[in-house]
Every structure is written in structure tokens, then in C-alpha cells.
Amino acid sequence: MTAIIDLSDKVALVVGASKGIGAGTAKAFARAGATVVLAARNQSAIDEVARQIQEAGGRALAVQADVTDPGSMETLVSRTIAAFGRLDAAFNNATDGPRPAPLAQIDPEAFDRGIRTNIHGTFHGMKFQIAAMLENGGGTIVNMASTAGVEGVSGLSAYVAGKAGIIGLSRVAALDYADRNIRVNVIAPGPILTHHLEAAGQEAQRMAAVAVPMDRLGTVTDVADAVLWLSSPSSGFMTGAVLPLDGGQLSGRVIKSNFRRDT
């Protein structure tokens, strides 16, 4: 990421920062000058990301937290304020869902776990983040949804319901606090090359990219850049929005046999 966005003197909280998009976005916040608090259930993983940020000259604190536990999320925000005195930006990135299967075959507990992580987790995060931001005169929140929360995907009932719920919840929060200088926006990525797709192999990556009009997978940097922009004054008149990061996927279908393009 280029050093266009300056978040010096800001404190950013990244929830779900142990790997992939969360870890990459935490590092991007640090490169932009922000002090970063990293949160996840895996303490050793966020310790390692914090160490990398610190070795690069940034400031970082790793705090173990569970988004499904409101007390844990309250403690996370309290520790952020105790350490740095403020909270300016939050990125709620934790996600979960059962393995793909037709709806009638989904285990109810697995479905509930996906909803708890996505919807309850985002609610718990925003509840305490907003309270801290109100004490500080405002702030920004970016919540992680998915293109699957905008359009249905077969076999992903818990994931789709969870991501759609995040979008609705975020819009309400944006309206509730629009006049209090707190902006709440959502990103909706399509297929992003993270550890999940890397582990699936090249054929799975190729098949995922086929559905993208730009004919490539998104990258962690693509997502991190969008989160930083939504967390900066450059997007200052934007709240309640859902920003697709999908290479044009939600725009419709490209039927290449319909035309011949010579240029």
C-alpha cells in the first residue's frame, strides 16, 4: 500500500487479526501511522503479528478476545483505552460458518455458531467500540461482510444469513450515530486470495477467478486499502454504505461469446 493515507496519532482496533485479511489490514494501519490493537482468540498468532509490526517500527498491542462473549469485547475496548487513551477506528473482521451443505442438512448448533460469530460478534464489537468513540468525539467502524451477504450462495445458509445480518446491523448503527461523528460502513469482498484459497490449490483458485469479471482474485492488499480509506477523512461523507470488493462480480455476468473485442 502506498503511504497516501495518514493515520498518525490514531488508534485502530482490528478484530480477527490473527491471519489473512485481518493481519494484513493491521499491518496496513501501522504503515499508515496508526497505533494498532490486534484481537483474536489465538493469542500466539496475534503476538506474532504484533511483533512484526513492532519490528517494522510500528506500535501494536495484542489482546486475546472472543467476539461471541460480550464481556470479552468490553474488556478488549477497555484495555485499548487504558493503554492508549482513545479509539479512533475499528475493523470487525471475525467470521465463521459451517461447511457447505443444503440447508436441511446443516447442524443447528453449527448454524447458531456462525450467527453468533458474525451477527452477535459484530454487535458486541460495535456496542463497546461506539461507547468509547462517543467519549472521544467520534470515530469510524468498518464491518466485514461478503458478496454472499448481498446475493445468495447455495449451501452457505449460515454464512449468507450472517453476512446479510451484518449489513443490516451496520446500516442501523450508521443511522443511529450519523449525527455523533461516528461513521459505520461495510466491505463486501468477493473471492480473495487468503490462506483458505491457497490451501485449496490452484484449480480451486482458477475456478474462483473465472466468476470475476476482472479475471483475477482479490488480494489482502485490495481489502486493506479499502478499510484504510473508509477509516480516513477521505471518506468523510460516507456512512451506511456497502462497498463491494469483487472485481465487478455483483454487477452481473460477462458472457464472452456475446461480443468480439478487438481493442
Q: Around 28, how many Cα atoms within 13 Å sit in the side-chain half-sphere?
A: 27
Query: C-alpha grid cell for residue 184?
Result: 459505520
Count of CB atoms within 10 A of residue 85's CB?
A: 9
- Region for 16 from its dihedrals, namely left if φ exceeds 0, alpha if ψ lies in -120 to 50, beta otherwise: left
DSSP for 118-148 reads IIIHHHHHHHHHHHHHHHTT-EEEEEE--GG
Displacement of CA 228 from its chain's centroid (Å) = 11
Residues 6 or more apart from 32 whose CB is under 8 A from it?
1, 3, 5, 6, 7, 8, 228
Residues with a known catalytic role: 159
Q: How far is Cα 89 from Cα 85, in angstroms, rounded to an integer?
A: 13
